[in-house]
Amino acid sequence: MKSIFEQLGGTYHEENGYLVPDLRLPTEEEQTIGTWGQRHLDYLKQYSKATYTNLLTSGRLNAYLADIDRQAQERFERLIEGMKQAQGITERLKEDNALEWTGRLGNIRVYAREIVNEEIIYI
């Protein structure tokens, strides 16, 4: 009589005289995960373990993180461009006063990063 595991297509292999189930995660296409995706992965592992486990065991974790990474990067870039325009930070300012341009752009990047973290990464 077959076990339920075997009836569902499961197989075993022998280790030291014991039959051990062959358990493998589904294969998943490798995709590069950037900083945003890595941050979200850390968040899932720490605060949303059920979601992390479901994505991992279904073979969708990598694709999910790559999508989060892409969305976050696009949002970050749009925020920066919008804030630069709203504050009048131009290439002319960069030529006239590089130090001021660098400082103001740095502030915008920090603020944009906080928004992306709040809207996409840490949810």
Block mean pLDDT (10 aa), the chain, length 123: 78 87 76 95 97 92 96 98 95 94 97 98 94
CA dist list (Å): 61 to 25, 32, 64, 83: 11, 12, 5, 33
Count up the domains in the chain and report the number. Answer: 1
Is 3 within a domain? Answer: no
Is 108 within a domain? Answer: yes
Is 17 within a domain? Answer: no
At residue 12, the pLDDT reads 83
Structure tokens at 68: 């989060």
Domain containing 85: what range? Answer: 32-121
Is 7 within a domain? Answer: no
